[in-house]
Amino acid sequence: MSLTLQFIPYQEIENLSSLGRIRKLLNIVKEKKIVLLEGRLKKEEEAELIKTTMEEINQDFKGIELAVIYPGTQNLDFVRKLRVQFINALLGDRQGLTIVGPASIIKEIKKDPNRIQLLTLEPSKRQSGKKR
Amino acid sequence: MLSVMKKFVNKVFRNLFRKKSVLKIGLYGPPNGGKTTLANRICMDWLGEEMGVASPIEHETREVQVKEQINIKSGNREISFSLVDTPGIATKIDYENFVRKGLSEDEAKQRAKEATKGVIDAIKWLDNMDVVIVVLDATRDPYSQVNITIIGNLAARDIPVLIVGNKVDIRKADVKKIKAAFPQYDVLGISAKKGTSIEEFYEALFVLAG
Ligand SMILES: Nc1nc2c(ncn2[C@@H]2O[C@H](COP(=O)(O)OP(=O)(O)OP(=O)(O)O)[C@@H](O)[C@H]2O)c(=O)[nH]1
Ligand SMILES: [Mg+2]
């Protein structure tokens, strides 16, 4: 079994409309690839991504798994907190990493503050949607 | 620039009407967290009737439900509001999960189709809310992106939020973990089913909406 990860640098979505961004991500995910997007969508775009995903769910496309990783400041001392906040403010949505994958392949993305786990479905189960 | 203006105008308008129209309190969260169970408890406590059907199978609520004119009182305080129970928000829906829970193939496909529409409606209704109670199953991982997206969208809209860690009657419930995941928010552990800490819940509602 193999998984394809496709990296999208932030500048590839920077000048796209919200719709364009969502389209780009969903098109790749529908090719059964996992997107690693540099940076983040806006909060409203995340909600829009879920809405569009719901509109397009069918026999072959069961939806997405989504995770956004963003440097938090919870466990830092004051000086380091300020530094991270400064960098976050400077880089805006360019900061962080967004992972989007097809739900038919990724069962769950577990995200503790310091660790990301992609739990995949066994290949046998992945087929089941296609047989019908 | 335009979107900033639009946001501003929207906000001014919303604040203008917020005072006059009825307060809308929304129940939001992932499927199966206990939104409808909590809605039923609130309605039983203050109206003496239930609001909707709860079920162990996800996506039981597939249409936004509104219960109007709920008045809650405590001492000399009183708030009156409409309660809005929403379909659970998910990023994926697989009808085969419903088949596994015992539904027929046709029922499962129908439920999945309605569930996708329900998620869309729930998201659309976000803009109508004045206060939102996010209902999370405290036995589950709070760091899921759906939770973060819901709470982030409420923050982006300046809607006051109370996070409820539900199902504290189950031993593996972990309200502290929810607090750690959302440190800037008020998090209250309750059991909608058993009624645990429901008085504290109403207290928190007064603070948030009163
Ligand atoms: N043990 C326990 N179970 C609960 C509690 N609250 C709800 N449940 C159960 O959790 C399941 C889901 O409850 P619902 O109220 O239907 O959940 P919901 O959030 O409305 O779910 P959707 O409508 O599918 O989004 C049901 O089997 C409830 O009986 C609780 O406090 N404790
Ligand atoms: Mg429900």
* Count of domains forming chain A: 1
Residue A38 lies in a domain: yes
- Structural domain boundaries enclosing B162: 2-11+23-209
* Count of domains forming chain B: 1
Residue A130 lies in a domain: no
Q: How far is CA B105 from CA B49, B92, B94, B96, in A?
A: 33, 18, 12, 8
Residue A76 has pLDDT above 70, yes or no: no
Q: What is the pLDDT of residues B103-161, one digit of tens each?
A: 999 999 999 999 999 999 999 999 999 999 999 999 999 999 999 999 999 999 999 99
The most confident of the ranges A35-44, A73-82, A113-122 is A35-44
Atom of ligand 1 nearest to the CA of B87: 25
Predicted confidence at residue A65, as pLDDT, reads 95
Q: Is B91's Cβ below 8 Å from some Cβ in A?
A: yes
Q: Express the helix, strand and coil content of chain B in percent, nearest 5 each.
A: 45, 20, 35
Q: How many Cβ pairs closer than 8 A exist between chain A and B?
A: 76
Q: Which residues line ligand 1 (CB under 6 A)?
A: B 29, 31-37, 54-56, 58-61, 87-88, 135, 166-167, 169-170, 191-193
Structure tokens at B61: 């609520």
In which band, very low, low, confident or very high, does the pLDDT at B15 lie, cut at 50, 70 and 90? low
Q: Is B116's Cβ below 8 Å from some Cβ in A?
A: yes
Domain harbouring B103, CATH code = 3.40.50.300
Residue with structure tokens 């999370």? B136
Predicted confidence at residue B86, as pLDDT, reads 98
Structure tokens at B44: 């039983």
- Give me the amino acid identity at B114: E
* Cα angle A95-A97-A103, degrees, rounded to a multiple of 5: 155
In chain A, what percentage of residues exceed pLDDT 70?
Answer: 81
pTM: 0.89
Atom of ligand 1 nearest to the CA of B27: 19
In chain A, what percentage of residues exceed pLDDT 90?
Answer: 55
Average confidence (pLDDT) over A44-66: 96
Predicted confidence at residue A109, as pLDDT, reads 83
Residue A39, CB-side half-sphere exposure with 13 Å CA sphere: 20
User: Of A14, A35, A44, which is closest to residue A105 (Cα–Cα)?
Assistant: A35
Angstrom distance (rounded) from CA B24 to CA B132: 8
- Structural domain boundaries enclosing A105: 5-125
Q: What is the pLDDT of residues A77-106, one digit of tens each?
A: 777 777 777 776 777 788 889 999 999 998
ipTM of the assembly? 0.88
In which band, very low, low, confident or very high, does the pLDDT at A129 lie, cut at 50, 70 and 90? very low
How would you classify residue A8: left for phi > 0, otherwise alpha for psi between -120 and 50, otherwise beta?
beta
Predicted confidence at residue A119, as pLDDT, reads 85
Residue B16 lies in a domain: no
